[in-house]
A and B are shown apart, each in its own frame.
Chain A
Amino acid sequence: MMRATDLVLVLAMLLNFLVLGSSRLSAGIRAVALQGASLSLLPLLLHDGGAPTIHLMALGLGMLGLKGMLFPWLLFRAIREASMRREMQPLIGFTASLVAGILAAAVAFRVSTRLPLPSAPVSSFLIPTALTTILVSFIVLVSRTKALTQVLGYLMLENGIFLFGLVFAREMPLLIELGILLDLFVGVFVMGIVVFHIHREFDHIDTVHLTTLKG
């Protein structure tokens, strides 16, 4: 069991770097989807003893369905309609963001040893992975300009928060997790529409150009 948990966490950690390093949007979408899908296994893996309860199953399946299938499908549809494939002008280059990602991972590992926790986490990888995912998601949010990569960043941010939540409660209250999922769903849905409309009105989906309202 512990091995499987660690495996999932390492996979999630590596996927962070894939998102940072790839210029193709489709690769980014796939990586985030895979990250979400693999994390959806964690509640089941961390459940110690006995048959998994119905709500754990529902949570895992819900996460898998939303993060692993529905979101990627929505995002793929968005890039198809906006007919764009690559992040052309990141504010920070791909190599530079990879280096930043490694720095973030280093900070995360350092911080995780000092963080006062209510109880020891299930795996020593859990907190570093959670923090790295959150920090990397911020790097994505800060350095990429396309509206679609922003959506990817927010999805990763949620993954990181979910991971961090596992530290405190092995079974996150169902309602809270469902609520977060619903928020995400609505968020992605709205962003998809926004991406589509920005494209239709302005011929691009670059958030850099959304500065005309600045005072």
Chain B
Amino acid sequence: MATVSLDNIKKRFGPTEVIQGVSLDVADGEFIVIVGPSGCGKSTLLRMVAGLETITEGELRIGDRRANDLEPMDRDIAMVFQNYALYPHMSVAQNMGYGLKIAGLPKAEIATKVADAAKLLQLTELLDRKPRQLSGGQRQRVAMGRAIVRAPSVFLFDEPLSNLDAKLRVQMRLEIRELQAKLGITSLYVTHDQVEAMTMADRMIVMNAGRAEQIGTPLDVYERPATLFAAQFIGSPSMNVLEVEGRDGALWLGDMRLPNPTGHIGPVMLGLRPEHLTPDPEGAIVMQVLLAEPLGANTLLHGKLATGQGFTASLPGVHALSHGGETLRLSISPANMHLFDTATGARLG
């Protein structure tokens, strides 16, 4: 078990800087999720922690050791890959015991440790099978098993669930989280799925274009997104963003008058989460509803505002739409209004 600390980590491939200085302190036993769209550098960041990519600049510490120049095997980490990376010619037991065998442990001890891990992951029946005889979920478990057996200080997960079907993904998500909590091993988990990030993370890093947009607890990121990008990336359906203008103590969107929680003057980006909108006959937001998606527990209403911008509202329960094109008046509490700088996207207030 160990802490991990990244101090202004940078990665350059030639002239392009793919990681532009990420700093993060991971506490012992913490579960950190690195989330972002594809190409944001999240996997590169993880691979630098693993030692599979060199660190161009900055310092990485695992435990109390500087790890920049350590070989992957000397970093006391274990990694679960997106395609599981199981050794196809070895049985499940051999796959799980490979690291221990390399470390030179006696056979009996390897067998015990593998058996223990297999029991924990319900793999005992499968120990003699080859990877190709396993289902996707089972392979995923074997990859986890291989990581657990070595009792590393840090777990690294590189989109481990993205090859599984939706139902299995939800199940494995819980299993991984439970297992990590039970073993108390510091973990870094990369995903592009914001639901995984929200549900699994102790803290998450929202990454975009090689930068950490925000580091915080899931609720923190949801309730107080630090940037426009983080605001739009986290939350489903994603946040409505409107360009409004602050004047006369209010925010104006065309001739719609909204409260101005920060008193900002001039043009500003306003973010409104669809689920924070409430129907209100007096509401300032007038939306023309074009399409309804009933999800059972709530209904997504897609449409546009008088200014022509697309707009989505999520209302609890079932909202039957008699026909397209009806207008709906909505309001929102000032506490749920997020303002961002037009130029930098940084949060205001």
User: Do A and B originate from a single complex?
Assistant: no
